[in-house]
Structure 1
Amino acid sequence: MLRSFYEWAIADFIFRVIVIDIYRLVRMAEHQEVQERKNCDVARTDTLNSRSLSAFGRSLLL
């Protein structure tokens, strides 16, 4: 009976480690995806700002 308890405890521990690792990998992937979206939005905003500044600069020259 004690042996089956240890087998169950080891199997439970291994299962929990695997589940927690998978959960962490998924969370890291989601975090990375959010960061990439933020970087894309920043790049798009920078492009729009540089275009508007260029238009503003051209209007000053006219």
Structure 2
Amino acid sequence: MDNEQTTLDIYTDSDEQPYSIYETYEDHTIVWDNGEYVFEISGNLNKDELLELCRSIKIK
């Protein structure tokens, strides 16, 4: 991550799942793990929309 142009925020949801949120002027990247896999999703959606998408991802 480009730390000169990127801010980092840690968000923990109601299920105690932490998310690392990297934000630039153009997009967001969210990284989290479920204890077995590490996930990363990037996009130009706003932070809340991208977090909603992350929370909807389930392992089958």
**TM-score normalized with structure 1 length:** 0.23
More strand by share: 2
Larger radius of gyration: 1
Larger RCO, structure (CA 8 Å, separation 6 or more)? 2
**TM-score normalized with structure 2 length:** 0.24
More helix by share: 1
